[in-house]
Amino acid sequence: MLSQYKYVPRPLRTLAALITLALALLSQEGQSEATPNPQTPADTTKLPEFEVASVRPTPPTNQIINALLTYPGGQIICKGCTLHYLITEAFHLQRFQISGGPHWIEEDRFEIEAKPAASSASSKSDPPLSKLPPNDEQRQMLQALLIDRFQLKFHQDTKEGRTYILTAHEKDLKLHSPKDKNEYPWAGGIGGGLPSGDGLRGTNITMPQLAERITSWLGHPVEDQTHLQGPFDFEYKTGEDDSQTTQDLASSVITSLKGIGLNLKASQGPLPSLAIDSVQKPSEN
């Protein structure tokens, strides 16, 4: 009986095996190029959105600049707000942490009225003061609005740089319970503005809020490690006149903080930032 096996010379078998292997590798390479990279969780997470929102340019007669107000029911009203300012509020960043974008984002002002759906957690919010900042969900809703209405495209980054750590000396603390717990949380110089030599004053302010305030003064992140439960009132006068002091702002802040029992120490840490890739002016509605 004849065998069904067909003899193939060894050189030809070797050549056929190499061809088969090459075809398999080319097929895998093509599949690899056709398969998209998996998305990160941040890419697939959908931001919460306002149920109703209107955006329009600020009338020239309106002189209000960068007023973002929060109301019961989660409503947000922005008056005379630049896009640059709206981005700082939406992403909870300081001015120095944002870069890029056309010049108009710091010049043109906008009016925004937005309200979340009744099913959202923010619809149950009841801030005692309209000047209080938005909560985390409202910030995310504002992000979604900027992405949709201003066609905001951006990328975020974090690098190492100078930071500050705020700590407390429990024995030397000169912090007091606030006289008015409904007063707007504030800190600054004795005469208002920056604490540039005359001292430091604060009203109804928590330590995390103070750390954020110092961040805006110094242009570097400040981390609160005081472990103090506020809010507090405080006042420290240096006895010096603003016009006569030779201290720079950072030195003045550090000196004044020591006067109320707080210590500000330079350190190294993460510096988050946001770079604007592109943006467009919204159509009025």
pLDDT at 230: 83
Does residue 262 sit in the same domain as residue 166? Answer: yes
Q: Give the domain-ending residue among 150, 170, 197.
A: 150
Is 257 within the bounds of a domain?
Answer: yes
Residue type, 59: P
Residue range(s) defining the domain that contains residue 133: 46-150
CA separation for the pair 5, 69 (Å, rounded): 86
Is 34 within the bounds of a domain?
Answer: no
pLDDT at 239: 66
Give the single-character DSSP code of 242. Answer: T
Is 180 within the bounds of a domain?
Answer: yes
pLDDT at 169: 87
CA separation for the pair 218, 82 (Å, rounded): 22
Does residue 119 sit in the same domain as residue 163? Answer: no
Does residue 189 sit in the same domain as residue 110? Answer: no
**Alpha carbon separation from 156 to 96, 98, 134, 153 (Å, rounded):** 14, 9, 21, 10
Does residue 192 sit in the same domain as residue 144? Answer: no
Does residue 189 sit in the same domain as residue 229? Answer: yes
Domain total in the chain: 2
Does residue 62 sit in the same domain as residue 95? Answer: yes
pLDDT at 116: 97
CA separation for the pair 47, 91 (Å, rounded): 12
Q: Give the domain-ending residue among 150, 171, 198.
A: 150
Residue type, 90: A
- Contact 58/110 with Cβ under 8 angstroms? yes
Q: In order along the chain (285 residues), what is the average pLDDT of each group of 10 residues? A: 41 47 47 38 71 96 94 97 98 95 97 96 93 95 97 95 93 92 93 86 96 94 94 87 60 92 94 96 79
Is 82 within the bounds of a domain?
Answer: yes
pLDDT at 137: 97
Q: How many residues does the chain have?
A: 285
pLDDT at 45: 67
Q: Give the domain-ending residue among 125, 150, 175.
A: 150
pLDDT at 198: 86
